[in-house]
Structure 1
Amino acid sequence: MTEAERFKIVSEKYADFITNDDARAAILNAYPDASVSLNFNNLSVIHIPVENMTFDSIHRFGFSSIPACFGLLTSNPDSYDYNLKNLPVSFKADDGYTGKDVLIGFIDTGIDYRNKAFLKEDGTSRILSIWDQSIENQNNPTRFLYGTEYNNETINKALKSVNPLEIVPSMDVIGHGTILAGVSGGSKNAEYGFSGVADNVTFAVVKLKPAKEYIKSFFSIPPDSICFQENDIISGVIYLHELALSVNKPLVICLGVGTSQSDHTGNRFLSRLLATVSEIKGRAVVVSAGNEGNRGSHYYGNIKPPASFDDVVLNIAENTYGFTMQFWGTAPNWFWIDVYTPDGGFITRIPPTTNNSILYSLENMTIIADSQIKEPYSTEQFIVLRFNKPIPGQWHFYVYGIKGDLPMRFHFWLPIHNFLTYGTTFVEPNNNTTIVAPGNNVSLICATAYNPANNTLYYYASKGNTITNMPKPDITAPGVNVLSPYLNNQFIRVTGTSVSSSYIAGVLALLLEWGITNGNFPQMSNALLKKIITQSATRRPNESYPNPDWGYGVVDINQMGSVINSIISVQENSIFRL
């Protein structure tokens, strides 16, 4: 790849697309200035001049080819005095498992590598590698051709320096990645009574570069939102997998970012890539359910005769910058939508046609509606509505099903709350089916959050199931007011489902140490790990399981040994002891 082609990866002058091999050839033929920066397992990332990213790009390129925008899945942290004493200790396996010789990989906001939580007793780093996608020099990972890679030797050199940032300038200025790494595997701190779940794991870190401004504008995401692109996360997944191969260690990938830009069945490119990686022995993938429950961001409709339509009411808050709303209609029916402003004015009718874009402008407001009969890997009809500077008030969306004798079920989803002005909600929302991508993929381990202090589910935890009624989430873990290392060697309390996913990542590292590091079960896979943690979970006597709130129950390491023994005795006719 030439320097000119490498420049396209990070330049705002070039738009990014994710395609399969067939679509890649078509784009390269249509756009002579296009280039490919990644090709892996029938998945490619392509860059073309951004002026080709016109308002009708969804029907020209396909919704799934435009990278989804991902946000953080942890609530704003509350800082605590660093001098607090007697903080609670995370649970530890009685047999002393610590995650030795297991990698936990994070694709997030980076890591505060100078923090004591990520140092060994001798002061050297527990971080194998940091790939900072936001720093440009010539020391990029070979396959990816952007960002800068810092290996363990370089990190240790920096730690010995008077000014570490002169050698390794990578910083986690937000703190989210540092929090997740700390919860999953932070080193013991006797003074403050802290320990990560697996306090001897090795960390591998991908710091995501911010999303390009053009794509935030395309999806009407506020400019100051913390936002990342799907293609950069995909690159991070491949990087972590190949890094683990190079050192021959088991790997847990923990993803604490998510998006509502999906069909909620787990079919986006990133979801399917993670599922592919999870099928490899010695790999585990845990993702976050999301924090979209009880936020009014989902509407479910079921038009039953003699009714011929449903009136969906959306309240748009004052001073809303903009947002993207998705409609997914259940096949084989087709739907159309009539759109009305708060004062009763008719805007447009959106018909069930293939490759159709409608642009409507009124004063400072613009609305772009894209209609597709179907999307790759999905049988559902979908419509994407992009609002920019919308008129505040109660909008009406009249939804009609063309075939009255067929099921007329449909869903609307707003963006994750990070990208939305507070107060923009459906008037009659449905809190189920709010798990964010990639959490809906059946192969992945999806974690939700609860408060162990009072045994209640996190109020804003996203809820299942998928739109095909597959059980999600899979497991519940602590995710409310959890103690975590933070920037500058501080400790804070954190809340959110990304916290619970990092907690589960630590648990999986303990199991991988037992199975692979210690040689008890070298064939251990994500599917087996999922079976162990779900079958051993604690379940409430008055609940039926799996359910869309708690999944299969609350993670319980004390029950895992007996579950492992029963599983392996059936599979191999021999008993292993945890």
Structure 2
Amino acid sequence: MRRLFWVFAIAIAAWCWLGPPSQAADLVQAPPERKLDPRIRIMLSRIQDGLPPTPQLPNGSSLRPPSIPVRVYEKDGRFWFHGLAKLQSENTLSDLRRIGCRITSYRDGIACMEIPLDSVLEIAALPGVAYLEASKRVRLKLDRSIPEIHVPEAVSRYGATGRGVIIGVVDSGIDVKHPDFIRSDGTSRVLYVWDQNDPKGPSPEGFGYGREYTPQDIAHALNGNLSSRPKDDDPNEGGHGTHVCGIAASNGRASQKYYGVAPDADLIVVKADFDRPLDANRYIVEKAQKLNRPVVINNSWGSHYGPHDGTDLESAGLNALVGPGKPGVVVVMAAGNEGEDDIHVGGAISTGKTASFSAFTPRGASYIQIDLWHDSQDRFLTTVGYETAGGNRIPVTSAETGRSRKTTITDAPFSGARITVDALEAPYPNNPSVSHVLVDIDLTDTDYGANPSMPWFVTIEKLGGTGSGSFDAWLSSEDGQYFRASPGDIPGDSQKTITDQACAPYIISVGSYITKTKWISLDGIQVDYGIPGYPLGSLSYFSSRGPTRDGREKPDLVAPGEWIASSLSGDVAV
């Protein structure tokens, strides 16, 4: 593995010189570099310093595992990651393939692909490549709800049962043998399942990875052929996908009591790897269009890395599937589950003024990432540091708008910490009205990791410019982190916590409100999950709040989300 690190170090030595590990140094501002997502630049910088491309705990470390922002894997002696490229022309696809990229889908000027990390500068140098973005690691978000949203009236007045419509679901999978998805004649309402995680194949046409289960495979599965049965068996998700499918489309055969919103709709399901959700949505749209059927796609997942305005490549690619001139396609996104999490800060400062905010991190946390966006007509100085137990603030490194700097700390208490401030995206290539600053704090090589009594802080100063001075920042890493409300700092809040993807203009983002707090369990026990201050009909405490960063109202609507009975996957032990 060490040999690979040094191969990459040699490959990019001509691109940048970052100095010895204990010093901060500016990155060379070459044009291809500015086409790279800052997470990619940070991976290259780590390789240049002989480190793994993403933070990893040393053997025997007692720290919390880092929440990795980009999944990197090794194949054929090289490091690879999943990413997206904004192209000027479809003709550039042949150049990308020549360099070694494997294209998994292309549509609306955005290519999804597997990318060799050691070739990103060559890729960015192509005239036809406008921007290269690493895929985000997204995470899942999610009796009386049916009458609450007036489904019976819709059925009686319009005959709206979902017949003829396809519901697409991008989630943890589906238990195709569940009675709720089988017609009375014994045939399946699940038309296709694509498992993005299964390397055995056969893969769906054009995408080239995963395993596709056809109607014939699913029919064989219902007849007992277990080798052709897709599953919803992720032990970490507890049958989330089957639960979501049941809410949308259960026909009630299992319980003879509870049914979904569209009990006659058919289903196309992607068991997602949560690295390539744009591929997943494109797959469902293409299948529905080949069948000449309208489709509604549910995405109960999201992330908080990005501009929260729909202009990053993943959000833009999803947004391009719908909207004017795209009849018969609806894409729905969960608003998010961060309605009580203070993962956002925002405000405005004038020239010469500063603003500070600091992050609470659990003891032993090993990775912090803060995503900052500000008016592109302003020039900011971003400084990162930590607070001592005595309350003194120690600045570690800083970078002006248009620059990037990194520092590795050599002194206690955070010896080994690697801090990067990447402010090169000035302006952000996909939206010239904003500039982007990524703060990356890697504590994996420290002895103790984060300490709640010694928080990390960010101070921004407006050096000049004619802009509004406005800024917004999100904690895009997870692990129980939030912005504190400490004296002198801007306190964190839960505003603008709609997931980045759900901020796209033509995506329907959906929040949650309360329709049930009490019920009788299968064991005959009265269950009461009521929370004081949250009566029936109120917005769920966890439902993410708007607006978007650019001021648009989101979520677009709210629906029953607390508590919802639905189909239980037989693949998950309970």
Q: Deviations over 1:276-300 (max 9, x none)?
A: 2213111111111111122110011
Q: Deviations over 1:211-244 (max 9, x none)?
A: xxxxxxxxxxxxxxxxx21xx2111111111101
The percentage of aligned residue pairs carrying the same residue is 22
CA distance in 1, matches of 2:374, 2:83: 25
Structure 1 residues 35, 189: CA separation in 2 closer, same or farther (over 3 Å shift)?
A: closer
Q: Deviations over 1:418-466 (max 9, x none)?
A: x522254333112211111211111111111000241111112111111
Correspondence 1:103 to 2:151: no
- Output aligned runs, 1:424-463, within 5 Å: 424-427=482-485, 428-453=491-516, 454-463=536-545
Aligned amino acid, residue 127 of structure 1: V
CA distance in 1, matches of 2:463, 2:564: 50
- Give the alignment partner of residue 186 of structure 1, picking from 230, 250, 267: 250
Aligned amino acid, residue 320 of structure 1: A
The number of residue pairs the alignment matches comes to 441
- Output aligned runs, 1:252-291, within 5 Å: 252-279=296-323, 280-291=326-337
Contact 1:9 1:47 in 2 (8 A): no
Q: Deviations over 1:328-352 (max 9, x none)?
A: 1123112111222122222011211
- Output aligned runs, 1:471-482, within 5 Å: 471-482=553-564
Residue 135 of structure 2: aligned partner: 67
Structure 1 residues 188, 200: CA separation in 2 closer, same or farther (over 3 Å shift)?
A: same
Structure 1 residues 364, 136: CA separation in 2 closer, same or farther (over 3 Å shift)?
A: same
Q: Deviations over 1:174-214 (max 9, x none)?
A: 312111111011111474621111111100011112xxxxx
After TM superposition, give the deviation of residue 359 of structure 1 in Å: 4.1
CA distance in 1, matches of 2:229, 2:421: 45
After TM superposition, give the deviation of residue 360 of structure 1 in Å: 3.0
CA distance in 2, matches of 1:191, 1:139: 35
Contact 1:89 1:193 in 2 (8 A): no
- Give SS of 1:243's match: helix
Aligned amino acid, residue 461 of structure 2: Y
- Give SS of 2:243's match: helix
Contact 1:135 1:170 in 2 (8 A): no
Correspondence 1:156 to 2:209: no
RMSD (Å) for aligned C-alpha atoms: 2.9
Residue 328 of structure 1: aligned partner: 373
- Give the alignment partner of residue 84 of structure 2, picking from 18, 27, 37: 18
Contact 2:420 2:440 in 1 (8 A): yes
Contact 2:87 2:110 in 1 (8 A): yes
Correspondence 1:309 to 2:377: no
After TM superposition, give the deviation of residue 38 of structure 1 in Å: 2.7
Correspondence 1:352 to 2:401: yes
Residue 375 of structure 1: aligned partner: 428
Contact 1:336 1:399 in 2 (8 A): yes
Instruction: For structure 2, list consecutive stretches of 5 or more residues without a partner in the other structure.
Output: 1-71, 444-448, 486-490, 517-535
Aligned amino acid, residue 250 of structure 2: G
Structure 1 residues 64, 336: CA separation in 2 closer, same or farther (over 3 Å shift)?
A: farther
TM value normalised by structure 1: 0.71
Structure 1 stretch 461-470 or stretch 358-367: which is displaced more?
358-367
Contact 1:434 1:463 in 2 (8 A): yes
When you count helix as a share of all residues, which structure comes out higher?
Answer: 1
Contact 1:31 1:48 in 2 (8 A): no
Instruction: For structure 1, list consecutive stretches of 5 or more residues without a partner in the other structure.
Output: 1-7, 75-86, 210-227, 493-578
Structure 1 stretch 184-193 or stretch 110-119: which is displaced more?
184-193
Structure 1 residues 359, 33: CA separation in 2 closer, same or farther (over 3 Å shift)?
A: farther
Aligned amino acid, residue 436 of structure 2: F
CA distance in 1, matches of 2:191, 2:74: 25
Aligned amino acid, residue 446 of structure 1: S
Residue 152 of structure 2: aligned partner: 93
TM value normalised by structure 2: 0.71
CA distance in 1, matches of 2:152, 2:571: 26
After TM superposition, give the deviation of residue 394 of structure 1 in Å: 2.1
Q: Deviations over 1:79-123 (max 9, x none)?
A: xxxxxxxx6472333314210010010111111111112111122
Correspondence 1:468 to 2:535: no
- Give the alignment partner of residue 110 of structure 2, picking from 32, 43, 60: 43
Contact 1:185 1:197 in 2 (8 A): yes
Aligned amino acid, residue 337 of structure 2: N
- Output aligned runs, 1:505-544, within 5 Å: none
Structure 1 residues 31, 360: CA separation in 2 closer, same or farther (over 3 Å shift)?
A: farther
CA distance in 2, matches of 1:321, 1:63: 30
CA distance in 2, matches of 1:405, 1:234: 37
After TM superposition, give the deviation of residue 490 of structure 1 in Å: 9.0
- Give SS of 1:318's match: coil
Residue 267 of structure 2: aligned partner: 203
Contact 1:265 1:441 in 2 (8 A): yes
CA distance in 1, matches of 2:141, 2:313: 20
